[in-house]
Amino acid sequence: MKIDLTQRGSFQERHIGTSASEKETMLSAIGVSSLEQLINETVPANIRLGKALQLPAALSEEEFLASFKKIVSQNQIFKSYIGLGYYNTLTPTVILRNILENPGWYTAYTPYQAEIAQGRLEMLINYQTMVCDLTGMEIANASLLDEATAAAEAMTLIHSLRKASKKNANIFVVSPFCFPQTIDLLVTRAAPLGITLKVADPNTVDFTDASVFGVLIQSPDCNGQVNDYTSLIAKAHAGDTLVAFASDLLSLTLIKSPGEMGADVVLGSSQRFGVPMGFGGPHAAFFATKEEYKRQIPGRIIGVSIDAEGKKAYRMALQTREQHIRREKATSNICTAQVLLSVIASAYAVYHGPEGLKNIASRVHGFATALSSILKELGYKQNGSVYFDTLSIQVSNADALKVAVEKRKFNLRYEREEVIIALDESVTVEDLTALAEVFAESAGKAISAELISKYLQVESSLPASLNRTSAYMTHAVFNTYHTEHEMLRYLKQLENKDLSLAHSMISLGSCTMKLNATTEMIPVTWPEIGNMHPFVPAEQVKGYHTLFKNLETWLCEITGFAGISLQPNSGAQGEYAGLLVIRAYHESRGDLHRNISLIPTSAHGTNPASAVMAAMQVVLVKCDEAGNIDVADLKEKAALHSKNLSCLMVTYPSTHGVFEES
């Protein structure tokens, strides 16, 4: 027997999992003799590529892991205290192993079918309860894509709720102390909707101005300052202006809640509840508001109902808001919404409980207070006196300080003549000492062990007026599973209620039939992947940039396009980004009047919802009984709207899996 030494273990064969005999049985059942014949009969000849793709040879799983490890080893692991919504976090190993690394959780489809998702729905209702309790609001959804898009959803919700006195208002005020990436995204999302974004100190805004309909504030803000916005919010409400409030869940275990200050919408990221930074994502955003606004909330809301036997069961509530039902009239194009990440954040809250979270927050705040006191003794001045975890320190030599700090393997944030230090639950006494030493050296001073020891016992620096006095997370689920075995058993109990690819095939559609193979998932929890802050210097993430460049090159080759963006973090966001590119193209030609988007009635609900967000008017194209596009109707609609036609949105193969020859 000859042995071919060039043959390696085939990832493709294991991944798809169909044996030669199974292939023959399936081909015979449908009356064809080979895969080639099947392709000839199902894929129209005029759309076939007709050439080989210029892609590197496939690797075995072992070769892939070795190659991937070599690439990501170019990433340099520093302790990043940069903040801006991204923080080091300690994922409890019982959650790491039993959720994030467990295919029973990570291969389940987004939970739109309640009967096979009771475990995740329970964890999502835990998430909603946690968010409501910490923010002081009445209702929350089960997560969004990230904090910046959550802020955009808040802006559009508030815009839809304009009072009669503000019916023509189009100005949305944004505090300059919101996170910069949030402001950037709001600029993008506001323009197509005819909303004017005004970045201004909210304290200087006349909320009685008939053109102002809403405001976004943040506390703790981008520089770490904590504010009591009670009077500002009351002032806004007196002028018929609604208020969105970006906040931090961990801080709200110690600080008066936005709900108690009167906020209308509260949003933010739940990343620091056990989800690795991952160079910027994915992370689940939270979104909470008042009961009276529940029908305007974007995304999934989980409710409690009863099943056919009268037992308690969880289900999706108020689904008529969502894109899969309301389509172009939906409150948002959000579909999948980081369920796995919200489950991890929820589990983190369940495992630590209210006291555990408060202890973590107190420790983080204590380290910030200690560092503040030490730096003051070294002669440094601090901008702002009310903070949770982030200090803004005045410096005259930021560039030199940056070099010294990076030699110690730390990343901080530098803004002209100030340096911002955002601490988190990973900080240690050794980190505190190292940071103090580098600031002392920069000031030309010595630092003693006694000075450090002096501040290892500190009092909270938060003013009494901002201290949280209201209870939170009082439900039994947050006060029961605080040991390894209790938590392990609870997670296994929930996992067993769900259907995942660990149990069977999930034949709901193309989005659901993707198996994230074990080999593909292993690198997710490597520190070179998970511990990277998105705003670190470029030279520290050469591995990530190599991955991006490779993926962009390969996807351009596969799709035949000249350029590609990896930025959208969902299919719906990709649709929206594509529509904005089309809109920008028409604008560059002076054709912004072209705003008609032709969309088949068979299209996924995100298509028309995304088109509306991109300021397009949806015109539906009929489909025949088989679900194929009615070409005669398409031609008629295209001719009718030719002067204002912007684009055609098609899914190919179609939503029912067919390459339509027409």
What DSSP line would sit under 449-515, residue for residue? HHHHHHTSS----S-GGGB--S----SGGGGT--SHHHHHHHHHHHHTTB--TTTS--TT-GGG---
Give pLDDT, residue 120: 96
Read off the pLDDT band of 513 (50, 70, 90): low
Residue 626, pLDDT above cutoff 90: no
Report, as an integer, the average pLDDT of 22-27. 94
Read off the pLDDT band of 261 (50, 70, 90): very high
What DSSP line would sit under 377-421, residue for residue? HTT--BS-S-BSSEEEEE-S-HHHHHHHHHHTTEE-EEETTEEEE
Region class of 560: left (phi > 0), else alpha (psi between -120 and 50), else beta: left
Report, as an integer, the average pLDDT of 39-61. 89
Greater model confidence, 221 or 321:
221
Helix, strand, or coil here: 541?
strand
Report, as an integer, the average pLDDT of 326-331. 72
pLDDT digits over 222-244, tens only? 999 999 999 999 999 999 999 99
Read off the pLDDT band of 656 (50, 70, 90): confident
How far, in Å, CA of 183 to CA of 172, rounded? Answer: 11
Query: Any idea where the domains of the chain sit in the sequence?
Result: 1-42, 70-87+483-558, 389-461, 571-648
Structure tokens at 115: 């009967």
The fraction of the chain above a pLDDT of 90, given in percent, is 81
Residue 328, pLDDT above cutoff 90: no
Report, as an integer, the average pLDDT of 558-578. 93
Helix, strand, or coil here: 367?
helix
Q: Do residues 213 and 172 lie in contact, with contact meaning Cβ atoms separated by under 8 Å?
A: yes
Report, as an integer, the average pLDDT of 44-51. 87
How far, in Å, CA of 328 to CA of 575, rounded? Answer: 14
Report, as an integer, the average pLDDT of 519-546. 97
Report, as an integer, the average pLDDT of 295-315. 92
What pTM was computed for the model? 0.95
Structure tokens at 41: 């009969």
pLDDT digits over 281-302, tens only? 899 999 999 999 999 999 899 9
Read off the pLDDT band of 325 (50, 70, 90): low
How far, in Å, CA of 661 to CA of 286, rounded? Answer: 43
Residue 61, pLDDT above cutoff 70: yes
Share the mean pLDDT of the chain. 94
Give pLDDT, residue 658: 77
pLDDT-wise least confident of 61-65, 329-333, 600-604:
329-333
Greater model confidence, 362 or 163:
362
Residue 605, pLDDT above cutoff 90: no
Choose among 288, 364, 262, 272: nearest CA to 135: 288
Rounded to a whole number of angstroms, the distance between the first and last alpha carbons of the chain is 50
Give pLDDT, residue 511: 60
Question: What number of other Cβ atoms are within 10 A of residue 262's Cβ?
Answer: 17
Give pLDDT, residue 155: 98
- For the chain, the helix, strand and coil percentages under 3-state DSSP, each to the nearest 5: 45, 15, 40
Helix, strand, or coil here: 117?
strand
**Rg of the chain taking only CA atoms, in angstroms:** 27
Give pLDDT, residue 512: 52
Give pLDDT, residue 254: 99
Sheet with 390-394, edge to edge strand ranges: 390-394, 418-422, 413-415
Read off the pLDDT band of 436 (50, 70, 90): very high
The H-or-E segment that residue 304 falls in is strand 302-306
The H-or-E segment that residue 140 falls in is strand 139-140
pLDDT digits over 92-109, tens only? 999 999 999 999 999 888
Give pLDDT, residue 112: 81
pLDDT digits over 63-82, tens only? 999 999 999 999 999 999 99
Give pLDDT, residue 319: 74
pLDDT digits over 167-188, tens only? 999 999 999 999 999 999 999 9
